[in-house]
Amino acid sequence: MTVFYSNPGHLKHSQLANTSCHIHLWLATQDSSITNELINPLQQFGYTVIVYIPTTIPNIDTNFVPPDILVIDLELLNTDSASITNTEYFSQFSALQNLECPILIAASEDNFQSRRRAAQIKAIGFLLKPLDAAQLVDNIERILGEHYAPPLRVLIIDNDLELANHFCKVLRTEGIETALLTDPSLIIDTIDTFRPEFILLDMEIPGYSAPELAAIIRYHNDLMGIPIVFLYNADALNPYIEEMQQIAADFIRKPIKDSHLVTAIKMRAVRFRQLAKLMSKDSLTGLLKHTRIKEGINLELVRVQRSDKTLSIAMLDIDHFRQVNKDYGHAAGDRVIVALGYMLKHCLRKGDGIGRYGGEEFVAILPECDPNMAYQVMDNIRERFAGLQFQHEGQKFFCTISIGIAYTNDLAVQNSDSLLIATEEALQLAKQWGRNQVRLATHATGNSN
């Protein structure tokens, strides 16, 4: 849904509440070329777009449903004085602060002054016009992923209940989820259920040694890189210092200021989250890697055996992708791959698994989805992707995708390999029949039609 609205201050929540779009985007511009080039592609990605054509930015009425992200044409931010201070400049656009959403700047020129203007209003992204829709979505997804990331999860292991509860209170005030463990013998169950991203471990728990507890944690393969920060009193550190250098992310001496505790945890936990993402996700698209896809399918197959519900698997391949690379270069090809990845994330359910299988191939894991439903969902994605317009050095081009779908049924599926083979056979049939189409496998382990 695209909304052209010259005065968003009167836009009611009910006008947007019934839309199926995931992200509400404002384009603040008087440049019709921006809107003409972006409206349709952003629709295909499932965005709700409000084009706001203000007289001046300070006149924004903030009595509205706020956008998830705001893209502002730099032309709206020009001032007469180049020497105006940051504070004076930003005060003229105080309404931007009230939006409480990330801001992207679209500029005609890439120079120091343009970037300074963007920095003065605390924009977190800078893009050059003409804007490429796929590149814009790439930036938006990255920014929103960081801005609206789920709360960090911190496990505190300490037998000093009063101090540990104080730490929990401080961290929760900062939006950090916490779990408190006073009995280290329950550490395995607690980690399995809470899945912490940071562990704060006291070095002086009676009956336990800090190195032993850290080793128990490290036995979890998924938590090999998790930051373990040790709380210590001055006299307690020395006996363990050499033994613990290899397992400790840091040491924090008690007592510690609340603000310092929060900073120490946030910095290290965010780095762990980034590292975990790099290990499991494809670096270009942010989707699951090849091996993680198979793990996801096998997990869903176990659930299928318990629930007797249908699991569908879709494999997507960008048509004539080598020609795209040849005609427009690998950078343009990467933008096409990224665009398809983001479209899958927008159009599929939160519980669906999405991965980059290799090159220009993707796999979608669709639990509790029968083949007819899977066909409709994938054909909608196919149509949307075919409507996306890409740009390279002033040239515009389009791409299509072919899709194969296989699914579980009364013929037993042994593992992810057999299901993926059937899915790939359906995909190859879609290619043979002319591409830009969806084909269903006749069953999960055999021929397609």
Q: Could you tell me the two tokens for 383? A: 């149509």
With contact defined as beta carbons under 8 Å apart, do 204 and 160 qualify? no
Query: How many whole angstroms separate alpha carbon 323 and alpha carbon 133?
Result: 21
The secondary element (H helix, E strand) that includes residue 158 is none
Give the β-pairing of 401-407 and 438-440.
Answer: parallel
**What's the gap between Cα 257 and its chain centre?**
33
Whether 360 sits among the annotated catalytic residues: the reply is yes
Residue type present at position 433: W
Residues 6+ apart with CB under 8 A from 319: 399, 400, 401, 402, 431, 435, 436
Residue type present at position 97: Q
Q: Which residue has the tokens 């496990």?
A: 155
Closest CA to 25 of 122, 107, 139: 139
Exposure pattern of 39-52 as b/e (b: 16+ CB <10 Å)?
Answer: bebbbbbbbbbbbb
Catalytic residue among 37, 141, 197, 360: 360
Handedness of CA 186, 190, 192, 196 (dihedral sign): negative
Q: How far apart are the first and last CA of the chain?
A: 35
Residues labelled catalytic: 360
